[in-house]
Amino acid sequence: MAEFNPTILAFCCNWCSYAGADLAGVGRLQMPPNIHVIRVMCSASVKPEYVLKAISGGVDGVLVLGCHIGDCHYMTGNHRTAKRMPLVQKVLKEVGIDERRLRLDWVSASEGEKFQKVVTEFVGEIKNLGPNPMRGVKW
Amino acid sequence: MARIGVFICHCGHNIAATVNVEKVVEFAKTLPDVVIADHNLYSCSEEGLGSIRKSIEKNKLDRIVVAACTPRTHEPLFRKTCEMAGVNKYLFEFVNIREHCSWIHTKEPDPATEKAKKLIAMGVAKAGLLEPQKETESSVIPTAVVIGGGLTGLTAAASLVAQGIDTHLVETSGRLGGILGDIEIIGPEFSRSKELLDQLVSELKGSSHAKIHLDTKVTAVSGFIGNFEVTIESKGKSEKVPAGAIILATGAKEFVPTGEYGYGSIPGVITQLEFERRLAKGDHPKRVAFIQCVGSRQPGREYCSRVCCNASLKNALRIVEAEPSSRVSIIHRDIMSYGTASERLYREASDKGVVFLRYGLERPANVTRKQKGLVVEVYDETIDENIDIDADLVVLATPMVSREDARDVGKLLKVPLDKYGFFLEAHVKLRPVEFATDGVFICGSARWPSSVSECIGQGLAAAAKASIPIRRGKVVVEAITCWADTDKCAACGSCVIACPYEAIEIVEDEDRRYAKVNEAQCKGCGTCVASCPNDAMQQRGFTSRQLSSMIDALIKNAMEET
């Protein structure tokens, strides 16, 4: 059997984590090619529906990355993300999906190395969890 | 139906060495609504932009996707190209296949190529749903705030004032001049710092446009480019200053050794800045040993502070010129006398008898106090032997480090710092002295250890950039604001509570109630979007349909693959 190669979606906020991801690129920090970034202005604009849509469509893991608490470009946007995403994890658990398929973390514009670490760890964790059971489910 | 053009950039070898661009072009041609897919060696070059423009016109494209580097630096350029070809600039979508793909998967060309395909499929899906937008303008308060009254801040403030712009200079200490106030002579020209500082201070004091606030701290900053409100506090009294632009020039400080080479325990072992103060008082010792890179270029503080070698060269020359029989040695790891003038200084010091000895990090020098004075024992790599140097004074050239309050200032202004606590500018080459946040600028040693001429250059640059919005009198607000779909809105008010800018209110219209966004107040964070239970709140350029289409495209292309 071929090695499980997870598909991972990441939401990065424009001001911190997307810039951190750019910095990782500039520094040529290598990481697994499983991650696909969608740029949003603030992590607080990531609707729970996006996460659920991705997971129910078979995406193996979703990362939501924002600015560190206190550093949000929009003052308190990430406070909402910090409260919202654990709720989405609860929903996932409730419907029988391992809640570790969604991870929330903070990456600042200067933390290219942290971006690399978070992505590498998350890809490793999703590989351990195995394929998303929703893969191949016909709706 | 949209007519989408996809342009994929090789970026020389930056992308093409990892991602198979030709394969990706063939793939892009198969995507829905794509009329043409092409590739450029450098899309951002005059030639690349020209060919994109011609292609837009020839193929009557109405949606443009460029897959290249990061939108954070190059989006404005491609948007402008679209506009020049007659396409609304909001019908442009950027796909990052360099920073987020080729550069981080250099050893995995095949998976990187597959990933680039998926990213482009996501971008094309979103592009098909983009809508033209109209930008709004907002006014600019014709006042600037400069934080930091050192050389850089003074230079920036004096430049703004000379342009007739009302400027508030905020300094935490009770005096102007910063670190330069402790330094008598400036290298490599051996000019007097007092003349330079006095000149700047008198320009400010003599102008009705300048207001100097000493012993004053910035305690809060709100607003955005053109309309900031800076709260400053002095002796318990606080004042709100409205400003169109903010310049950050808080500087750095000298690293104080933590016992290295006997600092603090052996009398006569001092730092460069302490030595500067002694020299300023007319104290010229005859036997001096400088030790370079004390606390820098080592694990934990890897950077070169850039100014310390030149400072030692300058002071070594001052000693030997005052008394030619003086014995001065510079114990270094590498002499970084960058720039032609400083290189001349290095040669001159060598000619005048200053001894240069090179040491390695693994065998640092050892300082002891003996009866005859201080003795520096140095292992010289060239002759593979230990040498004893007698000295009256050992000067430790320590690096500049960030100030303790840098993090607090960064939080106030919502601007990032690097891992050493220096402020991170938007892009060293493409957007120098700017922050990613519009209207806030960075200059001087708060950004990176800088020499006197660099501080002046950056201060002037920041002042020039800050004056652009102020002199234009208006700024264009990016059309990424939110709106409420009144058909879906149930007037629950979740968005009203969620909005950090109080930009949303519930309004009544005949028999209906719904949310209404005040676009002038909306900053485009999209917080309201995720808080809306009815999918009524939408953000321009990031609508739920657009983002959902990206997720669909990822699922479609990833699941087919496996």
What's the CATH code of the domain at B24?
A: 3.40.50
**Looking at the structure, do residues B59 and B35 belong to the same domain, yes or no?**
yes
Q: Residue A2 and residue B237: Cα distance in Å, rounded?
A: 69
Task: Provide the token pair at B406.
Answer: 């840098």
| Chain A contact for B535 (CB, 8 A cutoff) | yes
Q: Residue B547 and residue A54: Cα distance in Å, rounded?
A: 11
Q: Specify whether the backbone of B77 is left (phi greater than 0), alpha (psi in -120 to 50) or beta.
A: alpha
| Residue given tokens 């996006």 in the structure block | A50
| Residue given tokens 């990430």 in the structure block | A78
Residue B115's closest chain A neighbor by CA? A33
Over residues B315-366, the pLDDT tens digits come to 999 999 999 999 999 999 999 999 999 999 999 999 999 999 999 999 999 9
DSSP conformation letters of B206-241: T-TTEEEE-SEEEEEEEEETTEEEEEEEETTEEEEE
| Chain A contact for B496 (CB, 8 A cutoff) | no
- Cβ count near B259 (within 10 Å): 10
**Looking at the structure, do residues B217 and B291 belong to the same domain, yes or no?**
no
- Per the domain annotation, does B530 fall within a domain? yes
Is the pLDDT at B560 greater than 80? The verdict is: no
Contact B414 A50 (CB under 8 A): no
Task: Provide the token pair at B25.
Answer: 């072009």
DSSP character for A57? T
- Chain B positions touching A33 (Cβ under 8 A) are 101, 104-105, 108, 111-112, 114-115
| The pLDDT of residue B529 | 97
What's the helix, strand, coil split of chain A in %, to 5?
45, 15, 40
Average pLDDT of chain B to the nearest whole number? 95
Maximum pairwise Cα distance, chain B: 97
Contact A109 B416 (CB under 8 A): yes
| Chain A contact for B100 (CB, 8 A cutoff) | yes
**Looking at the structure, do residues B357 and B332 belong to the same domain, yes or no?**
yes
For B52-81, what is the mean pLDDT?
Answer: 96
- Chain A positions touching B548 (Cβ under 8 A) are 49-50, 53
**Looking at the structure, do residues B377 and B409 belong to the same domain, yes or no?**
no
b or e along B99-136 (b: 16 or more beta carbons within 10 Å of the residue's beta carbon)? bbbbbbbeeeeebbbbbbbbbbbbbbbbbbbbeebeee
Stated as kind and residue range, the H or E segment containing B48 is helix B46-58
| Residue given tokens 């984590």 in the structure block | A17
Which of B154, B145, B268 minimizes the C-alpha distance to B217? B145
CA angle, B4 as apex, B539 and A59 as ends, to 5°?
Answer: 60
Is the pLDDT at B562 greater than 60? The verdict is: no
Percent of chain B past pLDDT 90, that is, above it, reads 90
- Per the domain annotation, does A67 fall within a domain? yes
| The pLDDT of residue B561 | 56
Query: What is the sign of the dihedral through the CA atoms of B488, B489, B495 and B501?
Result: positive
| Residue given tokens 């050239």 in the structure block | B397
Contact B558 A58 (CB under 8 A): yes
Is the pLDDT at B489 greater than 80? The verdict is: yes
Q: Residue B507 and residue B484: Cα distance in Å, rounded?
A: 11
Is the pLDDT at B372 greater than 70? The verdict is: yes
Q: Residue A135 and residue A11: Cα distance in Å, rounded?
A: 21
**pTM score:** 0.86
CATH number at residue A115: 3.40.50
For residue B26, the SS3 value is helix
| The pLDDT of residue A71 | 85
For B246-264, what is the mean pLDDT?
Answer: 96
Which of B367, B396, B425 is a domain's end point? Answer: B396
**Looking at the structure, do residues B445 and B521 belong to the same domain, yes or no?**
no
- Chain A positions touching B418 (Cβ under 8 A) are 110
Task: Provide the token pair at B108.
Answer: 């995995």
Q: Are B242 and B168 in contact (CB under 8 A)?
A: no
Contact B551 A9 (CB under 8 A): yes
| Chain B contact for A135 (CB, 8 A cutoff) | yes
Band (pLDDT 50/70/90 cuts) for residue B428 is confident
- Rounded to the nearest 10 degrees, the angle between the axes of helix B452-472 and helix B151-162 is 40
Q: Which residues does A128 contact at the CB level (< 8 Å), separation at least 6?
A: none
For residue B506, the SS3 value is strand
From the number of C-beta atoms within 10 Å of its C-beta (0-12, 13-18, 19+), residue A33 rates as buried
b or e along B421-446 (b: 16 or more beta carbons within 10 Å of the residue's beta carbon)? bbbbbbbeeeebbbbbbbbbbbbbbb
Which of B376, B357, B395 minimizes the C-alpha distance to B268? B395
Q: Which residues does B273 contact at the CB level (< 8 Å), separation at least 6?
A: B179, B182, B183, B254
DSSP conformation letters of B152-221: HHHHHHHHHHHTT-EEEEE-SSSSSBGGGGG-SEETTTTEEHHHHHHHHHHHHHT-TTEEEE-SEEEEEE
Select the residue of A47, A58, A108 nearest B544 (Cβ to Cβ). Answer: A47
pLDDT tens sequence for chain A (139 residues): 578 999 999 999 999 999 999 999 999 999 999 999 999 999 999 999 999 999 999 999 999 999 999 889 888 899 999 999 999 999 999 999 999 999 999 999 999 999 999 999 999 999 999 999 998 887 7
Which of B391, B151, B104 minimizes the C-alpha distance to B270? B391
- Per the domain annotation, does A139 fall within a domain? no
Task: Provide the token pair at B530.
Answer: 């995720």
Contact B555 A21 (CB under 8 A): no
- Per the domain annotation, does B54 fall within a domain? yes
Number of separate domains in chain B: 4
- Per the domain annotation, does A134 fall within a domain? no
Q: Residue B424 and residue B436: Cα distance in Å, rounded?
A: 9
Question: What's the domain range around B15?
Answer: 4-134
Q: For chains A and B, count residue pairs whose Cβ atoms are closer than 8 Å.
A: 158
CATH number at residue B311: 3.50.50.60
Select the residue of B114, B436, B558 nearest A19 (Cβ to Cβ). Answer: B436
Phi/psi for B459 (5° steps) reads -60, -45
- Per the domain annotation, does A60 fall within a domain? yes
Interface of A with B in 83-112 (CB under 8 A): 84, 108-110
Task: Provide the token pair at B224.
Answer: 């955005």
For B251-262, what is the mean pLDDT?
Answer: 96
- Cβ count near A86 (within 10 Å): 12
Q: Residue B271 and residue B255: Cα distance in Å, rounded?
A: 9
**Looking at the structure, do residues B413 and B464 belong to the same domain, yes or no?**
yes
| The pLDDT of residue B1 | 85
| The pLDDT of residue A136 | 80
- Chain B positions touching A22 (Cβ under 8 A) are 70, 72, 96, 99-100
| Chain B contact for A133 (CB, 8 A cutoff) | no
Q: Residue B127 and residue B527: Cα distance in Å, rounded?
A: 22
| Chain A contact for B13 (CB, 8 A cutoff) | no
Q: List the beta bridge partners of residue B5.
A: B36, B64
- Per the domain annotation, does A1 fall within a domain? no
For residue A134, the SS3 value is coil
Higher pLDDT pick, B76 / A3 = B76
**Which of B119, B440, B527 best probes binding to A when mutated, by most A CB atoms within 10 angstroms?**
B527
- Chain B positions touching A136 (Cβ under 8 A) are 559
- Count CA atoms within 13 Å of residue B6 on its CB side: 31
Over residues B511-555, the pLDDT tens digits come to 889 999 988 889 999 999 999 999 999 999 999 999 999 999 999
- Rounded to the nearest 10 degrees, the angle between the axes of helix A17-26 and helix B71-84 is 100
For residue A113, the SS3 value is helix
- Per the domain annotation, does A3 fall within a domain? no
Q: Which residues does B19 contact at the CB level (< 8 Å), separation at least 6?
A: B97, B101, B102, B109, B112, B113, B116
Which of B475, B492, B509 is a domain's end point? Answer: B475
Task: Provide the token pair at B397.
Answer: 């050239």
- Per the domain annotation, does B555 fall within a domain? no
Over residues B267-301, the pLDDT tens digits come to 999 999 999 999 999 988 999 999 999 999 999 99
Is the pLDDT at B30 greater than 70? The verdict is: yes
- Count CA atoms within 13 Å of residue B271 on its CB side: 20
Q: Where are the beta strands (DSSP E) in B61-116?
A: 63-68, 92-96
In terms of average pLDDT, the best of B114-118, B434-438, B558-562 is B114-118
**Looking at the structure, do residues B511 and B442 belong to the same domain, yes or no?**
no
Contact B551 A57 (CB under 8 A): yes
**Which of B488, B547, B552 best probes binding to A when mutated, by most A CB atoms within 10 angstroms?**
B547
- Per the domain annotation, does B20 fall within a domain? yes
CATH number at residue B502: 3.30.70.3270
DSSP character for B319? H
Q: Residue B259 and residue A136: Cα distance in Å, rounded?
A: 64
Number of separate domains in chain A: 1
**Looking at the structure, do residues B88 and B30 belong to the same domain, yes or no?**
yes
Contact B542 A33 (CB under 8 A): no
- Per the domain annotation, does A136 fall within a domain? no
| Residue given tokens 């806030």 in the structure block | B440
Question: What's the domain range around A57?
Answer: 8-129
Over residues B390-423, the pLDDT tens digits come to 999 999 999 999 999 999 999 999 899 999 999 9
| Chain B contact for A36 (CB, 8 A cutoff) | yes
Task: Provide the token pair at B303.
Answer: 């950077």
Select the residue of B72, B115, B500 nearest A19 (Cβ to Cβ). Answer: B72
| Separation in Å, CA of B527 to nearest CA in chain A | 5
Contact A7 B558 (CB under 8 A): yes
ipTM of the predicted structure?
0.97
| The pLDDT of residue B520 | 80
